[in-house]
Structures are given as C-alpha cells and as structure tokens.
C-alpha cells in the first residue's frame, strides 16, 4: 500500500536524526511512531530521508556511499536498475506515476518496499528540485566486483582516471554501452558512476556495462598488463601514435585510459602505459571534452 507524504513528514525527514544507517530490519522498529510531529512510522520516515537534499552534491557524495544507497531517477532508469537485479529501499513518485509504474509498484508492495506518494510541491520541498520526471527510487548500492572478474572476458576496457564531472562519467558510460565496450574501470578519485546525475546522463547504462573501481592506481596498470591488456593512454605526448595508427593494427586486448578534465593523465600513468595515443584534429583544436574523446576513441577501436 502506498504511503502518502505530507509537508509535516518532509520537515520530520529533514531532521538530522531521521536518517538510518541502513533500512530497518525488524517488525518492532516499523511499529513505532515518529516523535517529530508526523503520523508516518519511524522506519518509513528514515527511508523518506534518503531523498532529502538531492541537489546538495557534497552531502550526497558523502552520505550515499556511507548509507549504502543510490538514487535512480525516471521510469526508464528505475526499470533498468531493477532489470539489473538491484534492490529498491523505497520508491517516491507523484500519484499519476502509480499507473505508469503499476507493475513496479505492485512488485514493491509484495516485497514490503514502501511506495511514497506526494504532491509535486511536497516532493520538491523534500528533494530540493522540481521532480518533472515524476519518480525516484532509493536503491541498495551493490557491492562492487573485483577487477579480475570484470575484465576476465573483456577485449576492450575503458579506464576513467580522476574524472570529477558526473556528467562526463555518465556520458562515457552511455557511449561505452553504445559502442560495445566490454568493461569500465574508474580510479579511486573518479566521480561516482552511481551518483544521480551520472546515472541519468548514462540513461541507466551504468547498470548495463560491467564496471568497478581499480585501486591502487596507477598501480592497477600492471594488473591489466598481467592480464594480457595493452594499456594505451590518450594524451598529447610527443611520442604518441595517432588513433588511426592504433586502429590499423589493434591489440587483441586493449585498455584505453582517459584523464581528468583539466590536467589530463598523471605522469605516473603515462610512464606506466604501453603507449600514448592521440586523436588527430583540425582547426587549431588540440583537445576534446573527455566524454567526446572517449566516444571517438571507442568507435575507432571497436571490435
């Protein structure tokens, strides 16, 4: 059964002590009433707090991994997350989406997952933005697999080094899915692929392309080389070969490394890679946005 969200529920959910470390797991917890002036049960109130302050990037970067959750936004993304086997903690939507997501709502209710329903104004007060896509889901964050398992059967791997913009991360995943990349590795300081904006820009392909974090880095280069990969660094190095040259004689297994938006790849990364590769350009332009460069390189090197 859906749970109606009111303005008083939102105020209570914003209280600092309303957010649990994890979803409640006992019947006694779910039976208690909130002491914050709302009729919503304490366990539901704690889950509602998952959606507080979604526009506060610094807050969400810290709290989402700490609490083991991520936020899926829009019907398409929610369905892709569920299809990938990810488990919801709760759903939040405007009433009209109860029809469009009727099968998702029915499955959630069978599994005892709360479905929060509210007016657009109430949801905007809760989340911090106008929810024009109509539906959100707080999902359990899955445990990341090992690098070995992610690349075991891969021929083309994309490595994202310290990319800080979530839009670029999401765009790289979307291009990777479209262009047949087998796996993506992100370095320890790279933006979170499961951050809401990255997921949205990727159109949910972060649930489709196998990925994990590689650490330590750039120590992970040796691990890739030991697994039989040629590691190519996309960089404007003096000894760089052109993308055309690499594509003419492509390695059987290739890991393509792209660097952060401002400074590019680190010196240790360039030193550890097997070769540097550059994209030939015209018009006096010497570089592309990292997501655009990734798409160009993945298309040229597709198998």
Q: Where are the domains of the chain?
A: 3-140, 147-300
pLDDT of res. 303:
87
Mean pLDDT computed over every residue of the chain: 90
pLDDT tens-digit series, residues 202-221:
999 999 999 999 999 999 99
Predicted TM-score (pTM) of the model is 0.87
Cα distances (angstroms) measured from residue 207 to each of 80, 93, 211, 262: 7, 21, 9, 28
The answer to which of 34-48, 98-112, 145-159, 184-198 has the lowest mean pLDDT is 34-48
Whole-number percent of the chain with pLDDT over 90: 74
Domains 3-140 and 147-300 share a fold: no
Structure token pair of residue 279 = 């994209």
Mean pLDDT for the stretch of residues 3-20 = 79
CATH class of the domain defined by 147-300: alpha beta
- What DSSP letter does each residue of 23-47 carry, written as one string? ----HHHHHPBPSSS-SSBHHHHHH
pLDDT tens-digit series, residues 15-46:
864 554 444 444 334 334 444 445 688 889 88
Q: Report yes or no: 254 and 157 within 8 Å, Cβ to Cβ.
A: yes
CATH class of the domain defined by 3-140: alpha beta
Backbone phi and psi for residue 251, each to the nearest 5 degrees, phi listed first = -65, 155
1 has pLDDT over 70: no
pLDDT of res. 28:
37
pLDDT tens-digit series, residues 88-119:
999 999 888 999 999 999 999 999 999 999 99
Mean pLDDT for the stretch of residues 181-201 = 96
Mean pLDDT for the stretch of residues 6-19 = 78
pLDDT of res. 34:
41
Containing 63, the helix (H) or strand (E) segment is helix 57-67
Cα distances (angstroms) measured from residue 52 to each of 12, 55, 60, 240, 288: 11, 9, 9, 47, 36
Reported as half-sphere exposure (CB side, CA atoms, 13 A), residue 46 has a value of 18
253 has pLDDT over 90: yes
Q: Which of 134, 179, 176, 180 is nearest to 159 (CA)?
A: 176
134 has pLDDT over 90: no
Alpha carbon distance 223, 229 (integer Å):
9
């Amino acid at each position: 059964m859906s749970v109606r969200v009111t303005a008083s529920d939102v105020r209570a959910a914003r209280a600092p002590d309303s957010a649990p470390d994890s979803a409640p797991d006992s019947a006694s917890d779910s039976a208690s009433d909130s002491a914050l002036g709302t009729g919503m049960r304490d366990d539901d109130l704690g889950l509602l707090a998952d959606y507080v302050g979604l526009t506060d990037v610094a807050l969400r970067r810290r709290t989402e991994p700490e609490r083991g959750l991520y936020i899926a936004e829009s019907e398409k993304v929610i369905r892709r997350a569920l299809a990938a086997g990810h488990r919801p903690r709760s759903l939040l939507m405007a009433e009209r989406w109860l029809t469009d997501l009727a099968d998702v709502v029915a499955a959630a209710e069978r599994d005892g997952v709360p479905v929060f329903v509210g007016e657009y104004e109430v949801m905007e007060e809760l989340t911090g933005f106008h929810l024009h896509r109509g539906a959100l889901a707080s999902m359990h964050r899955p445990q990341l697999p090992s690098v070995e398992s992610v690349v075991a059967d891969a021929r083309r791997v994309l490595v994202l080094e310290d990319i800080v913009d979530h839009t670029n991360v999401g765009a790289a995943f979307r291009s990777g899915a479209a262009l047949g990349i087998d796996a993506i590795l992100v370095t320890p300081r790279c933006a979170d692929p499961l951050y809401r904006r990255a997921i949205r820009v990727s159109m949910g392909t972060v649930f489709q392309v196998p990925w994990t974090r590689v650490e330590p880095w750039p120590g992970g280069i040796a691990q890739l080389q030991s697994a039989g990969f040629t590691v190519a660094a996309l960089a404007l190095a003096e000894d760089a070969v052109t993308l055309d040259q690499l594509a003419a004689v492509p390695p059987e297994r290739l890991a393509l490394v792209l660097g952060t938006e401002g400074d590019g790849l680190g010196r240790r990364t360039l030193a550890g890679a097997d070769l540097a590769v550059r994209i030939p350009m015209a018009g006096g332009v010497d570089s592309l946005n990292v997501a655009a460069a990734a798409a160009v390189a993945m298309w040229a090197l597709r198998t």
